[in-house]
Amino acid sequence: MQILTTINSLEPYKIKGIKYEGYEKDSDGSILNTSESGKEYNIIRWLKHKYALSLQWLTYDEIENIIKQFQTAKKNQEKVTITKSKLTSKGYLDLKTTAGEPVFSFELTDLKPSQKTGTSFYDLTISLIERVDLV
């Protein structure tokens, strides 16, 4: 697991928000069982919750370092974590029953940088997936 120091060290105003986008349909998290009566039912082992983290007013160096840190994590096949206190103040919903920092998976194609029109600053939207174990 890699701690995203580049995001954790950002000023609070640079984190626009983290939006909950529902859960990802994942057949691996469900087990189909059959009761003694022959009726089939599902046992859910985990849910994957989707979030969109929005960063704003980033300099070129900041956005470059953030993307490099994500690339390094993907290359090493690691999940990433961002400080819960930083995310909670921006709208993060903690759907776990266990304590600890949130751990996210991602795809590199889910990093979407864009330049603010008429300025030298950038916005970055990152789609993150948090797996929450239920059983």
Q: Structure pTM? A: 0.83
Could you count the other beta carbons within 10 Å of the beta carbon of residue 29? Answer: 20
Give the pLDDT mean for 53-76: 94
Q: Which domain holds residue 42?
A: 5-133
pLDDT of 52-62, one tens digit each? Answer: 999 999 999 99
Domains contained in the chain, number: 1
Q: What is the pLDDT of residue 32?
A: 63
Confidence of residue 29 (pLDDT cuts 50, 70, 90): low
Q: What is the pLDDT of residue 39?
A: 74
pLDDT of 89-127, one tens digit each? Answer: 898 988 887 788 899 999 999 999 999 888 999 999 999
